[in-house]
Amino acid sequence: MRYWLMKSEPDEVSFDDVLSAPAQTVAWFGVRNYQARNFMRDAMAVGDGVLFYHSSCAVPGVAGLAEIASGPYPDATQFDPASHYHDPKATQEAPRWISVDVRAREAGRYLSLAEMRTVPALESMVLLQKGSRLSISPVTKSEWDAVVKLVRAREA
């Protein structure tokens, strides 16, 4: 089993949106970075843990715990000329971008980025490294355990 941090802008898809979706599952679409795409295509597996992270918002942070709910498949938005994520170089025969389904597992206490920066167990986390901007990044088992413990805590 592997663990991932996956960033979503809450005005596009929030953790609450996932909780209210059918089967509490959404397609993870719109990834347009090759390294993040390769993680979804080559490394993720059904059941892997996901830290659902809200980015590009007033208070970025981990909004909930989720899991990978499907194998990789072509991201439909790449083929849609009306989509912000349209890629004119992508074809049905040769898709360039990948989606996976993500299922909500647990909504706990919101864990802000500012708080994460104060946790010694997270100091090596990819998210916290200078210049890190990937929308999907691997998380170690010890980082996962530390975040889960904090998300499940009643108070900061």
pLDDT tens for each residue of 64-90:
999 999 999 999 999 999 999 999 999
Structural domain count, the chain: 1
Q: How confident is the model at residue 132, as a pLDDT?
A: 87
pLDDT digits (tens, 9 = 90+) for 14-37: 999 999 999 999 999 999 999 999
Q: How confident is the model at residue 111, as a pLDDT?
A: 98
Share of the chain above pLDDT 90, in %: 96
For residue 142, the domain's CATH number is 3.10.590.10
Q: Which residues make beta-bridge pairs with 49? A: 3, 67
pLDDT band at 155 (very low <50, low <70, confident <90, very high): low
Could you give the CA distance from residue 147 to residue 34 in angstroms, rounded to a whole number? Answer: 27
pTM: 0.95
Domain region containing 69: 3-152
Q: How confident is the model at residue 154, as a pLDDT?
A: 73
Please state, as a whole number, how many other Cβ atoms lie within 10 Å of the Cβ of residue 95: 16
